[in-house]
Amino acid sequence: MRILVVEDEKKVASFLKKGLEEEYYAVDCAYDGEEGLFMVEANDYDLMLLDIMLPKIDGLEVLKGVRDKGLTLPVLMLTAKDSVEDVIKGLDAGGDDYLTKPFAFAELLARVRALLRRKEREPAGELRVADLTLDPVTHTVSRGGQEVELTAKEYALLEYLMRHANRVVTRTMISEHVWDYHFDPMTNVIDVYVNHLRKKIDLNSSQGLIHTIRGVGYMLEDRE
């Protein structure tokens, strides 16, 4: 899952990026409204964290711009103002949720999860395909009741595949949603990670869940 953080206060942006990355999200930062608007258009983000008081273009204007361009990604607004009018303005301009500064980081994570879940119209709780389960809160994965140890990228990749289970996922989709701005499209790093994942998930099981769609990408599917 790839997140764009638009926040002019560098230190806030920095701890947000760090904390979110540790939760296996791919995170990019923009430090003013203009940059934020440019980046949200250029890349396919799953969610945007948007500060309301921004230099150059105000956060509310950014939000209007995003919605005018037909982008439907969920937007979580961060605001230091907690007056009701500001909240109403933000939500009416197309915001999906808001948090008042200073916020608890754990709450921010929970809201991010909720917004992503809502985006995919998924029920809360574990993701499950056949006997493979993934818990987005504790980041634990198990196959046939047996816990599987994954690295951060492997986990992020598996989560993305599971959220799009039974659908073909292209390499471009994976690169856009699992990796951040610094991903180099010329490498075969995605295939390498998929192979790692396959070894950990499918090797000790009679049924393979990760399938390769030749020339296109991958698909996670319970074919039995």
Partner 1 sequence: MILFKTIKFKLTLWYVVILVIILSAFSFFLYFTLADSLYKGVDNKIKTMAEIAASSANSSFGAGPSIADLDRIMTERFGVRPLGRFVQILDESGRVGDSSTNLRNVKIPISVQTLTAASKGKTTFETVQVMEKYPLRLVTMPITANERMVGIIQVGSSLEGVEEALHQLLLILLIAVPAALLVTSAGGLFLANKALRPVDEITQIARRIGSGDLSQRIRIKRVNDELGRLASTFNEMIAKLEESFRRVKRFTADASHELKTPLTILRGEVEVGLKKKRTLKEYQRILNSNLEETSRMSRIVEDLLTLSRADMGELAMEREEIELSPLAREVWEDLQILAREKGIQLKFMDDGFTKVEGDPLFLRQLILNLTENGLKYTPSGGEVELKVEGDRDQGVVRIFVSDTGVGIAKKDLKRVFDRFFRVDTARSRDTGGTGLGLSICQWVAHAHEGQIAVASKVGKGSTFTVTLPLKD
**Binding interface with partner 1 (CB under 8 A):** 8-9, 11-12, 15-16, 18-19, 22, 31-32, 53, 55, 80-81, 83, 101-106
For residue 71, the 8-state DSSP code is -
Cβ proximity to partner 1: between 47 and 210 the closer is 47
Cβ proximity to partner 1: between 8 and 176 the closer is 8
- The minimum distance between CB 93 and partner 1, in angstroms, equals 20
Tokens of 108: 């921010």
- The minimum distance between CB 13 and partner 1, in angstroms, equals 10
Cβ proximity to partner 1: between 80 and 213 the closer is 80
The distance in angstroms from the start CA to the end CA of the chain is 28
Q: Which residues contact 70 (CB under 8 A, 6 or more apart)?
A: none
Using CA atoms, how far apart are residues 78 and 6, in angstroms rounded to an integer?
Answer: 9
Cβ proximity to partner 1: between 83 and 206 the closer is 83
Question: Cβ distance 150 to 197 under 8 Å?
Answer: yes
- The minimum distance between CB 210 and partner 1, in angstroms, equals 29
- The minimum distance between CB 102 and partner 1, in angstroms, equals 4
107-137 burial code (b ≥16 CB/10 A, e <16): ebbebbbebbbebeeeeeeebebbebbbebe
Using CA atoms, how far apart are residues 42 and 39, in angstroms rounded to an integer?
Answer: 5
Cβ proximity to partner 1: between 16 and 39 the closer is 16
The helix (H) or strand (E) run that includes residue 189 is: helix 189-202
- The minimum distance between CB 145 and partner 1, in angstroms, equals 26
